Amino acid sequence: MSYAESYQQARREPDQFWLKQAQSLAWYKNPSIGFATDEDGNDRWFPDGELNTSYLALDVHVEQGRGDQTALIYDSPMTGTVEHIRYSDLLDQVQRCAGLLAQQGVQKGDRVVIYMPMIPQAVVAMLACARLGAVHSVVFGGFAAKELAVRIEDASPKVVLSATCGLEVGKTINYQPLLREALALAEHQPEQVIVWERPEQPLTEAGLLRWQTLLDSAEPADCVAVKATDPLYILYTSGTTGKPKGVVRDNGGHAVAMRYSMSALYDVQPGDVYWAASDVGWVVGHSYIVYAPLITGCTTVLYEGKPVGTPDAGAFWRVVEQHQVKVLFAAPTAFRAIKKIDPEGEFIQKYNIESLRTIFMAGERLDPPTLEWTEQKTGKPVVDHWWQTETGWAIAGNPVGLEQFETRAGSACMPLPGFNVEILDADGRVQPPDTQGFIALQRPLPPGCLTTIWNNQARFESGYLRQFVGYYVSGDGGYKDADGYLYVMGRIDDVINVAGHRLSTGEMEAVIGAHPAVAECAVIGIRDELKGQLPLGLVVLKDGVYVDDDELSTELTQRVREEIGAIACYRQTVIVNRLPKTRSGKILRATLRKMADNETYTVPSTIDDPSALDEIQPLLTSNA
């Protein structure tokens, strides 16, 4: 079925379309109902179906005689380890881990918090919870104790699963003091905290149970049948109030969406090697390191390393060659980091990347210069696709498994089947092509999207559903062109108001980023008494590039004037060594704005390196 046929059928006959996609899964009880609305008015899929997500990810493939295929490649340049784990072996580990949890009293519906580094046990823990029908909530390993405590408090887990440490370049992060502090801060206390002892850090904290020891007496556990509408996991995402929002994902809709997206969007088949270079603590890790590849029967790569520095800018290409990766998915910031150190792509030439068919990018706006550099240096097509923690899979992208569209720089391509995307003005009116507005998704949302906020239906409604009746509000702004291509210009609050004119900082970043000396950049709006706000550009230069600051500022000002217009009032550029980012690679624009305007700000717990803010603060203060 072509893209157009799929999109129209999913729009006109969503029940029929998604029930057909559901047939690709091994249900315990096949659903006969596609879409329904629950008592809270939430969109629910396949309410009469029963299944088990762990069974779909593991048991099915072993039963079909593919147990000897590699399910998981653990590649850790941090430890010098490469491990291939077969489907049959991963099933055995998950069965025993589920038995361990069952011995601790974990049952269907109980919550388990997983606070883990990028090691195979993190994947095992997630699948073990799914096997029992328990609800897991993965917290990014190394998160501050306060943030871990908030999540423990909200999810109220029966058990916390962790490890003795995580590894960063040149240092070991001992998780045990963080666990102790988090438990001291949280009012809710789990019944047990179970820790995987890594060779790099012994178990020393009293009161923690050693995971390996408990496995010795654990009996393998069978799968527990759950309803399609039962929750699979809670994943916390940042909230504007400072309290994280627990996005709830169900079992049935999630499994159908994962399987469909692997075929329709990524064009990946069973047996292919698929690598999402992310972390299991983020939604990309949930969807495309763990669940989608394994449900599909692929080989998935679990990478404990960085795009640069482990050991060099050739790390990604080494993994592609060594493991014959077919599809690589990473955030644009990873490729900008590689580009900064290796602008001529010399490291790419050292490896044979013929196996790599497509590079996908998401997680932040893909600036045209990074798109162009990656395509030119690798010789591979790059697909920009756009999605959110809340949706769990891509809202828009180039659906290469259905139809190959031309790439248009700055565009996430077409809305995927099931996502009915509209551009609305402030009054909720649908906007014509090439007119910017709020990006909103007409309800019902397709399978795989969030079903509510954990223990906070009111926040779900106020945060996503109330602004425009009948729509989910994405929080992003953008437009569609005359051909239906979607352009995501960034968060609504990344639009600045210059003398009454609303201007996208994303557009300015695209212009600045195209300068041959610029590795990456960010544009923020700073307060101005006359015009309300003025844009300020923060620029990181490519390695080995030396320019006169004033000359570069003049050149960038002229570029913005020529491509956007004098109306942008772009005149200030600050050269910085690095941009402060979250661990998932997103630039901390809101924090930078507050710093520049001398407002009170809190250093986000998600920051990758707090010293980056310390470096940039005096520069912002002197230029604001």
* pLDDT tens for each residue of 107-140: 999 999 999 999 999 999 999 999 999 999 999 8
566/512 same-domain check: yes
Q: Is residue 56 part of a domain?
A: no
Residues 528 and 433 in one domain: no
Predicted confidence (pLDDT) at residue 605 exceeds the cutoff of 80: no
Cβ atoms within 10 Å, residue 219: 11
Residues 487 and 503 in one domain: no
Is 601 exposed, middle or buried, given 0-12, 13-18 or 19+ CB atoms closer than 10 A? middle
Q: Is residue 576 part of a domain?
A: yes
Residue 3 in this model has a pLDDT that exceeds 70: yes
Do the beta carbons of residue 345 and residue 322 sit within 8 Å?
Answer: no
Edge-first strand listing for the sheet containing 382-384: 81-86, 70-76, 299-303, 273-276, 327-330, 358-361, 382-384
Q: Residue 442: beta bridge partners?
A: 420, 471
Contact status, residue 162 vs residue 194, Cβ threshold 8 Å: yes
* pLDDT for 241: 47
Pick the residue with more confidence: 162 or 365?
A: 162
The whole-number average pLDDT for the span 137-156 is: 90
Interval 501-552: pLDDT, tens = 657 787 788 889 999 999 999 998 888 876 778 899 999 999 999 899 999 9
Specify the 3-state DSSP secondary structure of 249. strand
Q: What is the pLDDT of residue 495?
A: 66
3-state secondary structure string, 485-509? CEEEEEEHHHEEEECCEEEEHHHHH
Helix, strand, coil share (%) of the chain residues, nearest 5: 35, 25, 40
Give the domain CATH number at 419: 2.30.38.10
Residue 17 lies in a domain: no
pLDDT higher than threshold 90 for residue 394:
yes
**Per residue in 317-356, pLDDT tens?**
999 999 999 999 999 889 988 999 999 999 999 999 999 9
In this predicted structure, the answer to whether residue 242 has a pLDDT above a threshold of 70 is: no
| Token pair belonging to 518 | 């610029």
Domain range enclosing 552: 499-623
Please report, as a single letter, which amino acid is at residue 585. Answer: G
Cα separation, 288 vs 556, whole angstroms: 38
Q: How many domains does the chain have?
A: 2
Look at 383 and 566; give whichever has higher pLDDT. 383
pLDDT of residue 604: 76
In a domain, 181, yes or no: no
State yes or no: pLDDT of 300 exceeds 60.
yes
Based on its alpha-carbon atoms, the radius of gyration of the chain, rounded to whole angstroms, reads: 24
Q: Please say if the pLDDT value at position 568 is more than 90.
A: no
Out of 494, 512, 529, pick the residue that ends a domain: 494
Average pLDDT of the chain is 93
On whether residue 560 sits in a domain, the answer given is yes
Task: State the pLDDT confidence band at 240, using cuts at 50, 70 and 90.
Answer: very low
What's the mean pLDDT in 138-155?
Answer: 90
Res 581: pLDDT: 87
pLDDT band at residue 239, thresholds of 50, 70 and 90? low
Predicted local distance difference test score (pLDDT) of residue 402: 97
Are both 446 and 556 inside the same structural domain? no
Comparing 365-379, 402-416, 500-514, which segment has the lowest mean pLDDT? 500-514
Q: Is residue 368, in this structure, part of any structural domain at all?
A: no
pLDDT on residue 206: 92
Q: Are residues 611 and 588 in the same domain?
A: yes
Chain centre to alpha carbon of residue 342:
25
464 assigned to some structural domain: yes
* Ranges 70-79, 137-146, 185-194, 371-380: which has the least confidence: 137-146
- Structural domain ending residue among the three candidates 473, 494, 515: 494
Final residue in a domain of this structure, among 494, 524, 555: 494
Residues 6+ apart with CB under 8 A from 268: 262, 274, 293, 296, 298, 326, 327, 401
541 and 598 both lie in a single domain: yes
Same domain, 443 and 553: no
Q: In this structure, are 486 and 512 located in the same domain?
A: no
Partners of 534 in beta bridges: 526
Dihedral pair phi/psi, residue 421, rounded to 5°: -90, 130
Nearest alpha-carbon partner for 273 in 68, 53, 73: 73
Q: Which residues pair with 115 in a beta bridge?
A: 139, 162
pTM across the whole model: 0.85
Residues 487 and 553 grouped into a single domain: no
Q: Are residues 564 and 582 in the same domain?
A: yes
We report the CATH number of the domain holding residue 569 as 3.30.300.30
User: Quick one: average pLDDT of 599-610?
Assistant: 79
Q: What is the pLDDT of residue 593?
A: 86
Q: What is the mean pLDDT of residues 378-388?
A: 96
Residues 579 and 538: beta-carbon distance below 8 Å: yes
Q: How confident is the model at residue 238 (pLDDT cuts 50, 70, 90)?
A: low
Q: Which residues contact 325 (CB under 8 A, 6 or more apart)?
A: 273, 274, 275, 301, 319, 355, 356
Shared domain for 469 and 580, answered yes or no, is no
Question: Could you tell me if residue 38 is inside a domain?
Answer: no
For residues 412 and 419, what is the distance between their CA atoms, to the nearest angstrom?
Answer: 13
540 and 569 share one domain: yes
Amino acid at 576: V
Confidence band for 69, pLDDT divided at 50, 70 and 90: very high
Q: Are strands 135-140 and 111-116 parallel, antiparallel or unpaired?
A: parallel
pLDDT exceeds cutoff 50 at 385: yes
